[in-house]
Structure 1
């Protein structure tokens, strides 16, 4: 179906709040609200140094009563002290410092804490403790990048650095630096507030799951956010600055739209033509709609079926071939098979066709299942070097569309293709346990 806006569906699924992104009518990403322990990630506390462990060049900082976190002295050369004094000796037991949870506690491992505070916006990320500039690798316009560098050199930023997110290019340089200025002011307020707060106080808590789900998407090409959860709808209204009057204007034809969506659902469609949508897009701003129809939103978009397929070990290809996906503790293994594939072409042509189709689907599945770390793909063996080069080029193109950094390393002498994908959150199969 053509001319479709991307859709983000936020609803309850299997007893948890889920955010499912549809692109071009197909599910592209599924995330569930983190468990309580994981929700600490990004929270800034006033912590107290319990002890210094010189042999591992680290400190252990109590950030909640009775709960310690690991604090690398190598990575945190400039602690932020809570008393606002400018002169301090080496960090010692009893010192109160600002710490942010960089990684939540996992099983027997303590949480990882840092004083290199990070505040994330939609177009910009502020990172304290380093004054460098970073620009998303997906922004390739050299003139635009150079203009950002010139603007950065003329900007007052103290000891804070800036990372320009992919959304920044579409939003414009002025928007990026306006957001950075707001984040910098927030950072100063957080540091100042620490002097009047007691130990273990929370100074900053990131946005909720729903707000982050919207914020982290590239929305320059248009996005409609649909939820049947009134509390999430109100929260997103506040976060996006959408008033009730504007929402009412945007969703004036919501009833007609929902009827059209139900009709589409009975035809086994997961998306609606943009001409039938209730909300139009403002430039760079997602539209927001509260779904109030009696027909369940999960059924309308077949979310249970989509989730079951995304958790399945086997993924079937149109050609009759399949992928067998096996996540393990150390890495993820993907096996490509011809399975039911039937073709009158030669074996080499059949194998190449199946492998190319598999390469496209692998890129989809990595994002959908949120697989990360080391990924090994066992494609169907091909004898011709030219076929192997064609396959690697196709896979490299496919993974570049992933918003999470994914690198195709190489093909081993045994014909196994190695990839790495940056870990942002837990894989889907762990999120739904």
Structure 2
């Protein structure tokens, strides 16, 4: 069972996702700073750089968007030229182009954009120009994968692409086809606005934070939604009715006297989970350090001495740490290169057990990740797609006294 706990303020909305009582995702959306990812813009090419195989596109924000050559070519690999053309053969300065944001502005970099358009729905992801059908890897039953693949081929139009999402497993064909029809109509509206607009202009903005989580992770049959705003609760009910007709969303309006995050134990978990040093239930610990290029996680036995032997103690600590690290990577929304310094183990099987435990935990994550493997120095290397700044950045700021080598904790209920 999952719980979505939502705290609403005039200028921002905070959302916490709980699984079996544990905090697994946290997100903040400010009214003046809506997430750009997923939004469509009509932009104007302001610079074409053959040496970088990229172009910069003005979409109306402070920093121009970055458009790489691979994101200009056809989204289907089989329809791309055998030899990659130069970016200046595809785009020219002053050209108007419709793009979709795939990465938020990070640090000194502007947003990254693509022409490989995708519109996610409840059951499917619609790709107007991709010309293929794919099924989520998390759908494991072979007969169900075949059914969804065949259904996708039946309901798509020529040239269109569809990804069958995990939640489409065992879903009725009419519901999936209806979802596709809504997304197809949404794409028509975007095209119509693009034809009528001058660059730069916003053509389509992705859903609000609450609506995105309802669409992507919420099961109305067994999950729960608590919101401390009657207005937002009503909007959530209307949204689910729109995307999943006949579904009953168990929305509860929170009327408690204390802060909703405090009432559900979220504040206490956040203070623990966003600390530099996180203590494991066994007494061991994991320490997080972040640089511009990568995140480093160090595992220690701490006070845990409970194994039958040193190897047993170390392995148990590492297994617990792997499970917790997978959850915290998802919660903190860590992206890029991640290096984990597990405690040294002698047996290859124990090292594989740790990798398996980490991969099992990260399989629950909606953001694409990959466990690369052990380095020659005995460190475990993994990567996770970086879409926006880490969530932990919301709760710290550089320290003026030490010129940014330390952080000031801003975590707390406001």
TM-score (norm 2): 0.82
Corresponding residue for residue 408 of structure 2: none
Maintained 8 Å contact 1:157/1:184: no
Please, which runs of 5 or more residues in structure 2 have no aligned partner? Answer: 76-88, 397-414
| Aligned twin of 1:408 | 371
Partner of 2:106 in structure 1? Answer: 106
Query: Are the equivalent residues in 2 in contact too, given 1:125–1:163 (CA < 8 A)?
Result: yes
Distance 1:49 1:294 in 2: 53
Q: Equivalents in 2 of 1:28, 1:66: separation in Å?
A: 33
Give distance in 2, aligned partners of 1:179 and 1:241: 12
Instruction: Give the conservation status (yes or no) of the 8 Å contact 2:121–2:215.
Output: yes
- C-alpha change, 1:106 and 1:356, in structure 2 (3 Å) is closer
> Superposition pairs for residues 310-329 of structure 1, below 5 Å?
310-329=273-292
Alpha-carbon separation, structure 1, partners of 2:324 and 2:349: 21
Q: Does 2:3 match 1:7?
A: yes
8 Å Cα contact 1:69-1:112 kept in structure 2: yes
**Matched-pair contact (CA < 8 Å) for 2:40–2:99:** yes
Mean Cα deviation higher: 70-79 or 336-345: 70-79
Q: Paired residue for 1:365?
A: 328
Task: Tell me the TM-score normalised to structure 1 length.
Answer: 0.78
Q: Per-residue CA shift, 1:383-422, capped at 9, x if unaligned?
A: 2333333333333333333333332222223322222223
Q: Equivalent residue for 1:429? A: 392
Q: Which deviates further from its counterpart, 118-127 or 56-65?
A: 56-65
Q: Of the two, which has the highest radius of gyration?
A: 1
- Show the 5 A alignment for 1:150-229: 150-219=150-219, 222-229=222-229
Residue by residue, what CA displacement relative to the aligned partner does 1:62-100 show, whole Å, maximum 9, x if unpaired? 322886333334421479xxxxxxxxx964444433222
Maintained 8 Å contact 1:220/1:283: no
Is 1:132–2:155 an aligned residue pair? Answer: no
How many residues were matched structurally?
381
Instruction: Name the Cα RMSD after superposition.
Output: 2.9
Deviates more, 1:170-179 or 1:328-337: 170-179
Classify 1:341/1:204 alpha carbon distance in 2 versus 1 (closer, same or farther; 3 Å). same
State how far apart, in whole Å, the 1-side matches of 2:133 and 2:263 are. Answer: 44
Check conservation: 2:362, 2:369, Cα contact below 8 A: yes
Residues in 2 aligned to 1:413 and 1:237: alpha-carbon distance in whole angstroms: 53
1:171 match: secondary structure = coil
Query: Which 10-residue stretch deviates more, 199-208 or 67-76?
Result: 67-76
Equivalent residues of 1:99, 1:114 under 8 A apart: yes
Structure 2 residue aligned with 1:350: 313
1:64 aligned to 60, 67, 75, which one? 60
Q: What is the aligned counterpart of 2:356 among 362, 384, 393?
A: 393
TM-superposed CA distance for 1:169, in Å, is 1.3
CA distance in 2, matches of 1:198, 1:389: 55
Cα pair 2:334 2:390 within 8 Å, conserved: yes
Kindly state the Cα deviation for residue 221 of structure 1 after the two structures are TM-superposed: 6.4
Contact in 1 for aligned 2:16/2:25 (Cα 8 Å): yes
Moved more, 102-111 or 366-375: 102-111
Paired position in structure 1 for 2:266: 303
SS in 1 for 2:65: strand
1:199-228 C-alpha deviation (Å, 9 max, x unpaired): 333321111122112222152762111100
Match of 2:25? Answer: 29
CA contact (8 A) 1:22 1:28 kept: yes
Indicate the SS of the match to 1:40: coil
Provide closer, same or farther for how the CA distance between residues 17 and 381 of structure 1 changes in structure 2, counting only shifts above 3 A: same
For residues 185 and 365 of structure 2, what CA distance do their matches in structure 1 show?
Answer: 32
Q: Which runs of 4+ in 1 moved over 6 A?
A: none
Instruction: Give the superposition deviation at 1:362.
Output: 1.7
The answer as to whether partners of 2:277 and 2:286 remain within 8 angstroms in 1 is yes
